[in-house]
Amino acid sequence: MNSSRCFSLVALLLLLVVTVGAVGAVSVDRADMPDEGRVGADLTGTVVLTELFQNPSFEQWTLRGATELENVTWTVSVVDQAGNQLAQPSYDNQTFQHPVSIESGVATIRVTVTGTVPPIANYTYEPAESFRVARLTLARQGGTSEPIASYDAHHYTQASREARRAIDDARAAIDAAGGHQGAERTLESAISAYENANFENAVRLAEQARETAEQAQATQQRNRLILLAVGVLVVVAIVVAAVVYWRRTRTHSRL
């Protein structure tokens, strides 16, 4: 009794030390997550998790997932070392919990989330409106929880995208022109209209700003060209004058 108990005690202590001192999480092998989605459209994202019991080396924990997608279905595919699927439960709420145990022989978990892109609550130009596609965390019985991975995506409507594009174009035009006060002000109004969901106005104002900037740039280019032409003419005139002067002051031979 003495030696064997001693051994397991020591082992347990060791395990505890290792677990308490350990930092890190389950690693993401592969993630197929969209960057953006149109409001009301279907969206699917997949994450593959591996090294489920390395750091921290819990033998049992709970996989939690949360999403802002609507009409959502989570599919959790549990695969063992050999590649055999052990289980594939589905969950239909925005959040789910799935127990993970080393005894099940699980090596890889593939999490797929499918749903409808939620509507936009607040239009913001910058940062662009986004929603959470999936957030996965590792939870322990005691209450500790560690984040595994989190994926957000930008959502838009036809109108908001049009307006955003118009504003982006206007911004680019202003930058190309090297800045323009009037155009900037108009652009700010466009952004303000956008953020108030007044997309028609936003587009109109953005286009106005773009035109102003483009005109300014064209004028700038024209002026630069004129200056160049004048410069060339001046140089030519100086050269001609120098030649004429030199020829005139050069006297003919008297002999």
Partner 1 sequence: MKLALIGFGQAGGKIVDKFLWYDQQTRSNIVRSAVAINTAKADLIGLDYVPDENRVLIGQSRVKGHGVGADNELGAEIAEEDIDEIQGAVDNVPVHEIDAFIIVAALGGGTGSGGSPVLARHLKRIYTEPVYGLGVLPASDEGGIYTLNAARSFQTFVHEVDNLLVFDNDAWRQTGESVEGGYDTINEEIVRRFGVLFGAGEVSAGDEIAESVVDSSEIINTLAGGGVSTVGYAAEDVDTASDSGLLSRFTSSQADQFEESSSTTNRITSLIRKAALGRLTLPCEIDGAERALVVVSGPPQHLNRKGIERGRKWLEEQTGSMEVRGGDYPLPNESKVAAAVMLSGVSKVPRIKELQRVAIEAQDNIEEIRQQSEANLSELVDDGTDELEPLF
By CB under 8 A, name the binding residues for partner 1. 251-255
**H/E run at residue 11:** helix 2-21
Rank residues 5 and 250 by Cβ distance to partner 1 and give the closer one. 250
Instruction: Look up residue 50 and give its two tokens.
Output: 């591996």
Minimum separation from the CB atom of position 241 to partner 1 (A): 20
Nearer to partner 1, 2 or 251 (CB): 251
CB of 248 to partner 1, least distance (A): 10
Question: Could you tell me the two tokens for 198?
Answer: 């007044």
**Degrees (nearest 5) of the Cα angle 71, 77, 79?**
175
Minimum CB separation of residue 238 from partner 1 in Å reads 25
- Which residue's entry shows tokens 């051994």? 7
Which amino acid belongs to residue 107?
A
In the complex, what is the shortest distance from the CB of residue 243 to partner 1, in angstroms, rounded to a whole number? 17
Q: With respect to partner 1, which residue has the nearer C-beta, 41 or 255?
A: 255
Select 141 or 253, whichever has its Cβ closest to partner 1. Answer: 253
Residue with token string 């999480």? 25
Cβ count near 187 (within 10 Å): 25
* Residue 242 Cβ vs partner 1, minimum distance, rounded to whole Å: 20
Q: Identify which of residues 5 and 254 has a Cβ nearer to partner 1 in the complex.
A: 254
Contact 183, 216 (CB under 8 A): yes
Residue nearer to partner 1 on the CB measure, 1 or 255 = 255
What are residue 113's phi and psi, to 5 degrees? -120, 130
Confirm if 69 and 92 have CB atoms less than 8 A apart: no
Q: How near is the Cβ of 239 to partner 1 at its closest, in Å?
A: 24
Q: Take residue 210 and report the two structure tokens written for it.
A: 């773009």
Task: In angstroms, give the least distance from the CB of 246 to partner 1.
Answer: 15
| CB-based contact 126:171 (threshold 8 Å) | no
How many whole angstroms separate alpha carbon 142 and alpha carbon 129?
36
Nearest to partner 1 of 121, 255 (CB atom): 255
Question: Residue 73 carries which side chain, given as an amino acid letter?
Answer: T
CB 62 within 8 A of CB 99: yes
